[in-house]
């Protein structure tokens, strides 16, 4: 019995090794193969490279060329992506337990939080652990992501989607830095039967239906503003409560699960408002425009528009430009600006202009700041050359400041022009 079990285990191991060798030999051939970034991802992955090469190996047949291209895309752009675990600490870096579900509902979270800080001192969320996708992603997640994404291309509202939009905005298995979750089949099985026949030919109406469904299914709960980690789709649908970041992530995943190109757009700092960061899901219509999905609250984009100075879009693409790509890992930058890849889409939704700084630039990077929560916080960066820095695509009519970041104290320091 033990011998047969051992032989079976060895057979599986040799099969995996064969798939890996076949995939890697393909990379070395003269035929089109895995992009250079994909080869780099595999070379820098430890034991989990078996997962990546096994995924490639199953699509090497000619009739799987489209899925092979999808696997190449995911692996080639996987390297910079990661999940984050946070902990809440006091000024002595001691962990403070906190569960938003246990906070009282009859007391505003600001009041409750102040009472906690009056007792414990200043409380801060800090990153505790980073988990790289290339080292943690499973074969099942990759395989079902590709299978479900291709299945969704046949839904009637996705008739004219091009390959580029599919790869960038439907296929990705994550939205931001949430924990990895195999959300696609779960959301598909929940949502697909709910789509009315009357809207199935129109992507705008399907997106509107999904937005209405989630707005009614999940409520904004201000207690979750004091939760750093993004809730999973399963958690959010179960609890029915979350913050706007949670809800926007869920909307993007819901849209993608039905094959609709979707992205997360956000403003890192909203000035002079009760909510300090704005998130929204946007989808791609048939004219090639991204359309925001509004939430049913006073924190909608239209209501917050006067307080929004920049809008960014999370991207799965491993970009070669931008602060995340250009800066050294050890170089500290403000949150939202140097921690991941994003595109500036301010001009897609707001009238914009350039903001210029002239004066003594004490650092190579200068930050544009807005006032929020009694602090000046960074919303954009620019390189300082010859005592001048230009911040492009900035919303018109806003009040700004300028700052540099101290690499010693990790704090923003105002700079006068």
Tens digit of pLDDT for each residue in 128-145?
999 999 999 999 999 999
Tell me how far apart the alpha carbons of residues 239 and 273 are, in angstroms, rounded to a whole number.
27
pLDDT grade, residue 18 (50/70/90)?
A: very low
User: Does position 24 have pLDDT exceeding 90, yes or no?
Assistant: no
* More confidently predicted of 273 and 189: 189
pLDDT > 70 in the chain, percent = 92
pLDDT > 90 in the chain, percent = 73
| Res 315: pLDDT | 96
Residue with tokens 């291309």: 153
Tell me how far apart the alpha carbons of residues 171 and 165 are, in angstroms, rounded to a whole number.
9
User: Does position 15 have pLDDT exceeding 50, yes or no?
Assistant: no
Specify the 3-state DSSP secondary structure of 408.
Answer: coil
Taking residues 385-395, report their average pLDDT: 93
Six-digit token string for 255: 């849209």
User: Does position 199 have pLDDT exceeding 50, yes or no?
Assistant: yes
| Res 188: pLDDT | 98
| Res 4: pLDDT | 53
pLDDT grade, residue 360 (50/70/90)?
A: confident
Taking residues 215-235, report their average pLDDT: 94
The full length of the chain comes to 417
Bridge partners of 370, per DSSP, are: 377
Yes or no: say if 270 and 304 are a contact pair by the CB < 8 Å rule.
yes
Specify the 3-state DSSP secondary structure of 270.
Answer: coil
Is this prediction's pTM over 0.75? yes
Q: Which residues contact 312 (CB under 8 A, 6 or more apart)?
A: 265, 266, 267, 268, 336, 342, 343, 344, 345, 346
Taking residues 312-326, report their average pLDDT: 93
Least confident of 4-13, 117-126, 327-336: 4-13
Tens digit of each residue's pLDDT (9 = 90 or more) over 284-306: 999 999 999 988 777 889 889 99
User: Does position 146 have pLDDT exceeding 70, yes or no?
Assistant: yes
Least confident of 80-94, 327-341, 380-394: 327-341
| Res 374: pLDDT | 83
- Rounded mean pLDDT of the chain? 89
Q: Which residues contact 174 (CB under 8 A, 6 or more apart)?
A: 81, 133, 180, 316
* Helical H segments across 218-345, by residue range: 233-239, 244-257, 301-304, 323-326
Tell me how far apart the alpha carbons of residues 175 and 166 are, in angstroms, rounded to a whole number.
15
Q: Which of 347, 409, 354, 345 is nearest to 382 (CA)?
A: 354
* More confidently predicted of 317 and 64: 317
Residue with tokens 């959010």: 236
Tell me how far apart the alpha carbons of residues 165 and 204 are, in angstroms, rounded to a whole number.
16
| Res 297: pLDDT | 75
């Amino acid at each position: 019995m033990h011998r047969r079990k051992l032989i079976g285990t060895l057979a599986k191991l040799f099969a995996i090794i064969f798939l890996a060798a076949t995939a890697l030999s393909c990379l070395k051939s003269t035929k089109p193969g895995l992009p250079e970034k994909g080869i780099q991802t595999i070379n820098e992955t430890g034991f989990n490279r078996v997962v990546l090469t096994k995924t490639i190996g199953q699509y090497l047949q000619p009739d799987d060329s489209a899925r092979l291209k999808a696997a190449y895309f995911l692996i080639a752009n996987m390297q910079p992506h990661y999940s984050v675990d946070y902990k809440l600490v006091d000024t002595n870096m001691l962990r403070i337990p906190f569960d938003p579900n246990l906070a009282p509902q009859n007391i505003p979270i600001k009041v409750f939080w102040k009472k906690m800080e009056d007792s414990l001192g200043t409380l801060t969320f800090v990153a505790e652990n980073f988990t790289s996708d290339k080292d943690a992603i499973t074969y099942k997640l990759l395989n079902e992501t590709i299978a479900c994404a291709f299945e969704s291309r046949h839904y009637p509202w996705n008739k004219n989607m091009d390959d580029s939009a599919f790869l960038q905005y439907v296929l990705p298995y994550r939205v931001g830095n949430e924990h990895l979750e195999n959300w696609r089949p779960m959301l598909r099985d929940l949502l697909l039967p709910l789509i009315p026949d009357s809207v199935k030919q129109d992507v705008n109406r399907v997106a509107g239906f999904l937005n209405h469904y989630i707005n009614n299914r999940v409520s904004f709960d201000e207690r979750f503003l004091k939760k750093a980690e993004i809730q999973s789709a399963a958690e959010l649908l179960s609890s029915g409560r979350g913050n706007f970041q949670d809800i926007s992530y869920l909307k993007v995943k819901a849209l993608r699960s039905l094959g609709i190109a979707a992205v997360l757009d956000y403003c890192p700092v909203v000035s002079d408002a009760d909510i300090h960061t704005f998130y929204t899901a946007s989808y791609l219509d048939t004219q090639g425009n991204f359309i925001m999905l509004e939430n049913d609250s006073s924190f909608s984009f239209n209501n917050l528009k006067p307080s929004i100075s920049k809008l960014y879009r999370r991207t799965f693409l491993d970009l070669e430009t931008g602060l995340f790509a250009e800066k050294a890992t050890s170089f500290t930058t403000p949150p939202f600006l140097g921690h991941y890849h994003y595109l500036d889409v301010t001009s897609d939704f707001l009238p914009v202009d350039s903001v210029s700084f002239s004066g003594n630039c004490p650092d190579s990077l200068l930050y544009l700041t807005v006032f929020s929560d009694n602090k000046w916080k960074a919303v954009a960066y620019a390189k300082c050359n010859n005592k001048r820095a230009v911040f492009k695509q900035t919303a018109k009519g806003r009040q700004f400041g300028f700052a540099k970041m101290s690499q010693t104290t990790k704090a923003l320091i105002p700079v006068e022009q």
